[in-house]
């Protein structure tokens, strides 16, 4: 059983690296899995359903992602289904347990989960994110783990379990201690108020990928910033940080006043449904 698990892990890692290579994405960089899938000729559609975890339709080369899920779950679902595409598994309708495959799950589901983990969180990307910030994995703090999850586009617990079980960058005791804090508690500690919406923390080490938000979601960025656009509104402005809220779909750029940091921000409609390539269009009639 152990040998089979190791073999599955290696197969998934090789596949994830191959997909990144084909998509021209460096192994040390975060990746937007929706953009990656589209670049490989796989269409991604968001659908308003609660009854499935995800779906890959081989005949139309299309991945369906539930739009009502949290951002990290949506990304992992898309990566999981992209794994089914890569391995040629055929049409798949996955249950709500995408990302929770274990040794008792079908081999194809285990493989797709492992593929998704290595695609979104390859060891090189995690280590690069740590080193850019001069953080030590053995002394990882709660807010640091949250920032890593934000930049890699995955859930808070997802990255902690991956760093523990697969990458062996932190211990089980570390992971369990960090998971005692929930994302909701972390958001409150960060911005001082409860918010049901996703919060992205983008620090000065955030680079290579845009900041992706839905209308109503917030992002904490380095400040002060220069931004005058219809897509974002300043909620709170401090000397070193600015809290922004996404107001309208579209793509814009924000930058610090001293010009030392900048990032593109892409905003989609709340619980967007339709083809992923249209998710940031300002025209609300496009579907």
CB of 272 closer than 8 Å to CB of 216: no
The C-alpha torsion from 63 through 64 and 69 to 71, rounded to 10°, is 30
Q: List the end-to-end C-alpha distance of the chain, in Å, as a whole number.
A: 46
Domains in the chain, CATH or no CATH each? 1-121 (1.10.10.2910), 124-181 (no CATH), 191-278 (2.60.40.420)
Question: In angstroms, rounded to a whole number, what is the distance separating the alpha carbons of residues 129 and 147?
Answer: 9
> Per-residue pLDDT tens for 260-273?
999 999 999 999 99
pLDDT given for residue 285 in this prediction: 47
Cα-based torsion angle of the residue sequence 245, 152, 38, 77 in order, rounded to the nearest 10 degrees: -90
Return the SS3 of 203.
coil
Tens digit of each residue's pLDDT (9 = 90 or more) over 80-101? 999 999 999 876 676 655 556 5
Q: Rounded CA gap, 25 and 16, in Å? A: 11
Question: For position 239, what pLDDT does the model report?
Answer: 73
Whether the CA torsion 22, 120, 59, 286 is positive or negative: it is negative
In the predicted model, residues of the chain with pLDDT beneath 50 are: 285-287
Residue 102, pLDDT score: 59
Q: What integer pLDDT is reported at residue 238 of this predicted model? A: 79
In angstroms, rounded to a whole number, what is the distance separating the alpha carbons of residues 234 and 246?
A: 9
């Amino acid at each position: 059983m152990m040998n089979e698990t190791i073999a599955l892990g290696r197969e998934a890692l090789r596949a994830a690296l191959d997909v990144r290579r084909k998509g021209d994405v460096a192994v040390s960089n975060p990746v937007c899995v929706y953009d990656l899938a589209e670049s490989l000729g796989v269409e991604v559609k968001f659908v308003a359903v609660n009854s499935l975890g995800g779906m890959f339709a081989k005949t139309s080369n299309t991945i369906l992602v539930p739009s009502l899920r949290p951002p990290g779950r949506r990304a992992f679902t898309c990566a999981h289904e992209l794994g089914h595409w890569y391995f040629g598994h055929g049409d798949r309708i996955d249950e709500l347990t995408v990302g929770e495959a274990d040794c008792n799950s079908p081999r194809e589901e285990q493989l797709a989960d492992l593929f998704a983990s290595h695609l979104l969180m390859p060891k090189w990307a995690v280590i690069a994110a740590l080193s850019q910030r001069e953080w030590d994995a053995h002394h990882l703090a709660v807010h640091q783990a949250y920032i890593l999850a934000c930049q890699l586009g995955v859930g808070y617990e997802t990255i902690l379990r991956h760093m523990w079980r697969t990458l062996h960058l932190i211990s089980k005791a570390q992971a369990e201690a960090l998971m005692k804090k929930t994302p909701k508690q972390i958001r409150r500690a960060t911005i001082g108020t409860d918010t049901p919406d996703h919060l992205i923390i983008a620090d000065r080490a955030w680079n290579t990928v845009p900041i992706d938000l839905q209308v109503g979601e917030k992002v904490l960025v380095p400040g002060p910033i220069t931004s005058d656009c219809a897509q974002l509104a300043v909620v709170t402005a401090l000397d070193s940080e600015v809290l922004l809220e996404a107001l309208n779909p579209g793509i814009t750029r924000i930058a610090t006043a001293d010009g030392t940091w900048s990032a593109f921000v892409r905003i989609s409609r709340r619980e967007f449904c339709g083809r992923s390539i249209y998710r940031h269009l300002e025209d609300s009639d496009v579907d």
